[in-house]
Structure formats: structure tokens, C-alpha cells
Structure 1
């Protein structure tokens, strides 16, 4: 099987297969599901289940498209290097920097969410205090050797995997059989309060902007290729394992929530202060379980934040190695960690701490919208790279990848068009109208920066 030969990067191949798999889960399941789902439910009502099911197909197509390419090109830089290889240097430059910016902002949203979860127990606690404390903790984890990071993330992700399974099982039991002292809930909340589609089918589409954000992070698995012990085996395996988990966690999880909690009590689009998962446990009269679930969603936010710090540091390292960021950021420590790149990526934590002080009530939706534009642009470029990848391998007479996206290239085109349509919808949603206002100028700035960097390279 053909594989790309790469130059030494200083990064160490210390991540095991089980750690790679859990890093993928850590990136894909976080605040977007546990806290952002409240925004989606407030827009679409019980029909949010449809939105999660539809977006799942696009996320799964992305996971398989990346696995197909990484299986034969397990190179440092993950999807950014693949985009550069198959679409050109400009898309490679833009995709990596816009993804870096999106994930830096996303880190801020995760740590804001973690602070909100702490306020569940200590409502009088200033939001900035847990934000700063968690920022220091996650930076310390990422400054350690990648082997330690991988083990830490494995157990953090395992907590939410096990708990969501228990949550779904407990919810189904409550719906069908009831709990001690509680009658069976049934499915009445699905159709009560103005029906299954309280705000119309159009609201389901608008909710897709929030729902798709919940799946962002699916692409994270490709970034482990440079530090995986066996990337050609472990990365595709991790991508495939997400198929069942995404369907279980997102679709069934939302089905349980909206079947028990009246949709209009979950959240409002203007304020997000509690996870709908925690709200559900509070309503069924299990306050202890609500506290436990709040702890779980706290670990989920910290897990996603931990993974995103890892991703942004490696993306910065990749850009520096290719000459698209100062070479200073390509340096790694003795234990193989790009510490300078990591400290640059911690800028998102500074942003989050500032917003937690000056805009605590609106910080999370704001950060959500800023991150969405860049991440969706990257998804579009990944799908476009997959189309070129398939066409080039046929033209060059190369054997197919051992991992294949079924139905491609039709599947790839449909997923690409879906993501593009979601991106074009963001200006029409109150929560994410800022995405285009910030995203488009930033892309133009990156294009200008690319040509300036390239001219400097030619002069040298």
C-alpha cells in the first residue's frame, strides 16, 4: 500500500490505537452536544431529532473520506496537509489558518461552558474564576508528553462515553417503564406544546447551523497521524468506530431529552445556562443524578477543550514546518511537544476569560458563531480534496484505499453541498449571523497574507 514519506518533525509516535480512538471521540463530543443542543432545541423543538440525524450523515461521510485519504497518506498536518496536496498551496494555507482560528475560538466556548457547569453547584461563583482555573489545568496537560496527553484524554473521553450510554438507557426506561416513584413518561412531550414541528420545517433547517456545530471535531482524528504508532491502521479504525457512537450519542440522546423535557423549558436562544441533559434529570426528580450528569458534561467540555488545544498546537506546528508560520513555532521540547505553538493557541483562553467578565450571558453563543464559519469552510475543502484524491488515484492507476467512502463520489458531492447550504444559512439565524461578518473578512485577510508569504519565499 502506498504511503507518503515525510521528513522528521520532532513529534513522537507515542499514541496507541485506543488513545487515537478516544481523541476522535473527545473532539467530536463536547459542548456542542451537551450545551449547544439547548440552542438547537429552542429553535426546532422536538423536530431537532431530524436535524441531528441529517447532520450525522454529513459527519460520517467526512469521517470516512478522511480515513480513506489518511490510510494511504498518514502525513503530519492531517487534513490541512491533504488539502494542500490535492487542492494547492493557497487552500492548504487558508484551511489550516482558518481552522486554527476556529478551534482557538472553540476552545474559548468549551472553557466558558465548563465555567457554567461549575455554577450549577456554585451559582454565586464569578464565571471568570473557573475559566482561568480550567485554562491553567488544560495547558499543563498539553505541555506534558503526548503519551500522557493521550492517556489523560482516553479516560476523560471514556467518562462521557459510558455516561451517555447510561443516560440513554435510563431515559428509555423512564419513558417506557417509569422509575421508582415516577410514572412512565411516554412520548407526550414530542407532540405537546404546539406539536412535533412547533416552529415549522424551516426551523429544522435553521437548527442545522447549531446541530452541525455539534459534529465539528470529526476531522480531529486525522491530526493524530503524525503521532500515532500505526497511523495507516489506527486512524481509519478510529474514524470507523465513530459511526455507531455518533448515531447513539447524538440522535438517541436528543430523542431521550425531547421525549422527557418539554422543548420550551430546555433553553432560550438568548441564554444558555444549563445543559438540557441536566435539566432532564432535575425534572424526573433525581437531583443526585443531575449533579452527577453535570459533572460528566463538565468533563466532556474539558475533554473537548483538551483535544482542541492539541489540535491547534499541531496545526500551528504544521504551518511553521511548511513555512507558513514563523519557524520559531516549529520547535518542539525534549518530550516532543510543540510548546511554543501551544502557547500561541492558548490565545483562545485569554479571549474566553475576557468574555466571561464582560459578556458572560452572551459569550457562549458569540463564540459558537465565530467558530462555525471557519470549521464549515474546512469541511467543504476536505470534501473537495476527497474528490480530487479519488480522481487522481484512478488517473494514475493506483490501487484503491483499504478504507472507502461508500457511494463516492456521489456521496462526497452531496455532503459537500449540504455543508455549503448550512454555511449559506448562517446569516439568517440570530445566533450565527456574526459568522459571515467575521468569517468572510478573515478569509480575505488570509488570502492576502498567503500571497505576501509566498512573495517573501520567492525572494528568499
Structure 2
């Protein structure tokens, strides 16, 4: 049996119940969340109007990443995804590092979403402590993920549908205001007011790229969900293409209109800039409606991230790199122990919201970004190894192929490495490397001491059910 088929076999036991439509919504649900509705405000604060370039560069990196990932996922649809690919095509230690770094990153990203939920609820209930909402909504989404992958897919589809409708409505209303009614203070002149298009220079624009990458984080979860898709190859190809088109349009169109309506200097101050747009437009009740939408967006992203961290820890366990109990699935095909462990980010977010609620979101974002950026960089590197080995073995071309190989794969890897190194030279994101590099070294030491043994020693799928 070829080595990768052994990986697929050991990760069996999950239910293949996700449709192509649900797969697309899962990817959108992860990527169109706090990164767009709240993170865009922080990005605007750094880059000013040139944040449009920041998000365009982020979109380019995401497009290249999805091309590489789609090709590998069509060849090998499994829940271990890019962690399994790194293990097979580079080395077992690479798969170990990618899985754990990514798991830790998304666990903390769950914390950023639940922190944002506290901010949004504060719009209506400013007197209620934020940690109350963190606990309440966390319990709700943990319950959804405990039910089944089918229930998760249905809930995520509904959440994402609300977001898509709201974003389309926002684009239409924003266009009507900017090109139609044109009230005082609204227009593209806001792009050059208050310091010009590059008020903080090229460096501010580049820092905006770092936040844009965080915003697009979770589009890769569609590759993880492939292991539970009904028709993986068709679902993956369709979902990858439609997801990228929608994300680019949603992000760039909404931010372009937002900057024309809200002066950039105030867009990132307290809360979502989307709510500020509706307050400026003055549609009765619209600000509350948008606040509800951004709340749903955060819930959706958190729901998706709980799902993906659970599957990544499940994959680690089945590879023999985590306790065997974390690889067990219940009768509904849910890795329940892995889900419960993956709730650590919620606990950290609750603590941060109690101790320092005003800085909790940016702190959680800075710490969580290392694992995500490292994983994206490693996806590009893995694709280089993947394509090189297939060419050496004379493998037949796949139905989906990354274009411009190897130059575009190298471009993506170079941009990701540059963004990761750049975090060290920013005040806000300095913790990204200062915490991430020691964590990676700790993981490498743990692997060398305890896990330098074949993955075949992992518990068999047949004996891993609860």
C-alpha cells in the first residue's frame, strides 16, 4: 500500500456528509468573519486608504495558496490535509510541526472571534461584562460541533448565507450612497484627505498586508473539510474557485466603499467600521442590523475554527503525535475529546477579557498569527516538494493544477516569509515572532525526544471509536 494511502486509512472513521455547497460556505464562513468586520478597522488604522493595496496583496497570496492547496487536496483528500502532505512529501517532523503550529494558531483565533463577540454585544449591552457573552456563545457553538458534521455543515451554511446577503446589501447601499445620493463628507476625496493615499507610507501599507493575511486566514480549512465531503474531488474544485472569487469581491468592494463613506482616521476607532458606515448613512436601525450581522460573522468563523482545530488534533492523534484518546470518534463520527481540548482558546479569551478587555483582541491576534503564517509558508514549500516528487515518479497530471509552477509557488512562499519576518519590526505584532519561534523550537525538541517513531504505531482507526 502506498504511504499516503496508509495516512488516509489511519484517519478514517469520520462521516462523509458535507456537500459542495456546504464546503464553499465553510471556507467563506472561516474567512469572512472578524478579519473583515473588525480586523479591517485595525488595518485601515495602519495603512489608511492604501489598505486597498494591502488587501489586494493579501488576496494575491491567498489565491496562490489556494491554487497550491487545491492541487494537493484533489490528489489526497483527507482531514490531515496540509499537515499530512508535509509529513508525506517533506518529512514526518514537518507534518508534526505544521499540524501543531496550525492547531495552536486556530485555537487562539477562536479566542479572537469570541473576544469580538463580546465587543459586538457591548454595542447593545454596554453594562454587561464581556466575558459573560464569551461563555454563553461558546457553550452554544460547542454544542453544535458535538452533534455531527452534518449539523455543523447546516449551521455553518445558514451563518454564511446571512453574511453573504448582508455583504451584498452593504455593497448595494454603499454604492447608492457613494454614487447616488452623495451626502456631504462622502466620496472618493476621502481617499486623499487626512494625509493622502499613503498617510503612513509604504511601511504602513505593508503592515496592513499582515492584517489582511490574518483576515483571509481559514480559507485553507476547506482542504481539511475535504476528508468529510461526499464527492471530494468535485466539491473541492468547485468550492476553491467560487470561494476565491467571492472573497476578493467581498473584501475589496466593501473596503473601497467603506473608505469613501467613513474618513479613514476614524474607521478603526472602537468597534466595527461597518457599524460606523451605517451610523453615518443614517438609515433607521441599520447600525443595529449590521451589528447583528457582524455578530453572526464572528459566530460563524468561531464555529468553523472549532471544527478545523478538532480535525487537526484528531489527525495528530491518529499519526501517533498526541494521546490516543484524542483520535477517538463517537457513534456520530465526531472526535469529541479533540473538540473539548480545542476549546482552550475560549478559556484564554475569557481570561484576557476579564484581565484586559480593551487590548484582548489585538493581543490574541498577534500571538495566534505565527502558527497561521508559518502554516501558509509551509503549504507553499510542501507544494514544491509535492510537484517535484510527482514529476520524478512520472505521475499523470491532475484534473486541477496550480498555474505558473514553480515561479508562482516561490512567489507565494517569498511573500509569506517576508510578512512573517516583518512582524518583528512592528509594535503590535512583535509578539508574533517572539512567542512563535520559541514555541516552534519547543515543538521540534518534543518531536526529537518523544515522537521520532513511525506513524504506523498510531492506533488503528477501527479501534479508536469511543
CA distance in 2, matches of 1:76, 1:48: 34
Partner of 2:161: 158
Partner of 2:90: 87
1:406 aligns with 2:403: yes
1:323 aligns with 2:311: no
The answer as to whether partners of 1:143 and 1:337 remain within 8 angstroms in 2 is yes
The answer as to whether partners of 2:79 and 2:312 remain within 8 angstroms in 1 is no
Q: Residue 408 of structure 1: SS of its match in structure 2? A: coil
1:22 aligns with 2:25: yes
Partner of 1:341: 338
Q: Give 1:143-182 correspondences, 5 Å limit.
A: 143-178=146-181, 182=183
CA distance in 1, matches of 2:219, 2:453: 35
Partner of 1:132: 135
Deviation digits for residues 229-268 of structure 1, max 9, x if unmatched? 1111112221111221111111111101111100111125
Say if 1:455 and 1:186 are closer, same or farther in 2 by CA, change over 3 A.
closer
Partner of 1:216: 217
Q: Residue 109 of structure 1: SS of its match in structure 2? A: helix
1:100 aligns with 2:103: yes
CA distance in 2, matches of 1:213, 1:184: 31
Partner of 1:250: 251
1:56 aligns with 2:53: no
Q: Residue 403 of structure 1: SS of its match in structure 2? A: coil
1:226 aligns with 2:227: yes
Partner of 1:199: 200
CA deviation after TM superposition for structure 1 residue 183, in Å: 5.8
CA deviation after TM superposition for structure 1 residue 75, in Å: 2.2
Q: Residue 14 of structure 2: SS of its match in structure 1? A: coil
Say if 1:378 and 1:140 are closer, same or farther in 2 by CA, change over 3 A.
same
The answer as to whether partners of 1:115 and 1:131 remain within 8 angstroms in 2 is yes
Say if 1:32 and 1:373 are closer, same or farther in 2 by CA, change over 3 A.
same
CA deviation after TM superposition for structure 1 residue 193, in Å: 1.1
Structure 2 segments unaligned to the other structure (5+ residues) = 458-466
CA distance in 1, matches of 2:254, 2:378: 30
Partner of 2:431: 434
**RMSD, matched Cα:** 1.7
CA deviation after TM superposition for structure 1 residue 16, in Å: 1.1
The answer as to whether partners of 1:81 and 1:92 remain within 8 angstroms in 2 is yes
CA distance in 2, matches of 1:78, 1:442: 22
Partner of 1:7: 9
TM-score by length of 1: 0.95
The answer as to whether partners of 2:185 and 2:261 remain within 8 angstroms in 1 is no
CA distance in 1, matches of 2:78, 2:143: 27
Aligned counterpart in structure 2 of residue 43 of structure 1, from 23, 43, 46: 46
Partner of 1:291: 288
CA distance in 2, matches of 1:15, 1:243: 19
TM-score by length of 2: 0.94
CA distance in 2, matches of 1:265, 1:334: 51
CA deviation after TM superposition for structure 1 residue 336, in Å: 0.5
CA deviation after TM superposition for structure 1 residue 3, in Å: 12
Partner of 1:370: 367
Partner of 1:76: 79
Partner of 2:276: 279
Say if 1:130 and 1:287 are closer, same or farther in 2 by CA, change over 3 A.
farther
Q: Residue 311 of structure 1: SS of its match in structure 2? A: helix
Partner of 2:463: none
1:354 aligns with 2:351: yes
CA distance in 2, matches of 1:127, 1:155: 25
Partner of 2:261: 260
CA deviation after TM superposition for structure 1 residue 4, in Å: 5.6
Q: Residue 177 of structure 1: SS of its match in structure 2? A: helix
The answer as to whether partners of 1:69 and 1:401 remain within 8 angstroms in 2 is no
CA distance in 2, matches of 1:426, 1:240: 30
Q: Residue 9 of structure 2: SS of its match in structure 1? A: coil
CA distance in 1, matches of 2:171, 2:34: 18
The answer as to whether partners of 1:100 and 1:315 remain within 8 angstroms in 2 is yes
CA distance in 2, matches of 1:124, 1:18: 40
The answer as to whether partners of 2:186 and 2:262 remain within 8 angstroms in 1 is no
Partner of 2:120: 117
Structure 1 segments unaligned to the other structure (5+ residues) = none
Of 14-23 and 304-313, deviating more is 14-23
Partner of 2:377: 380
Say if 1:455 and 1:404 are closer, same or farther in 2 by CA, change over 3 A.
closer
The answer as to whether partners of 1:71 and 1:236 remain within 8 angstroms in 2 is yes
CA distance in 2, matches of 1:389, 1:367: 33
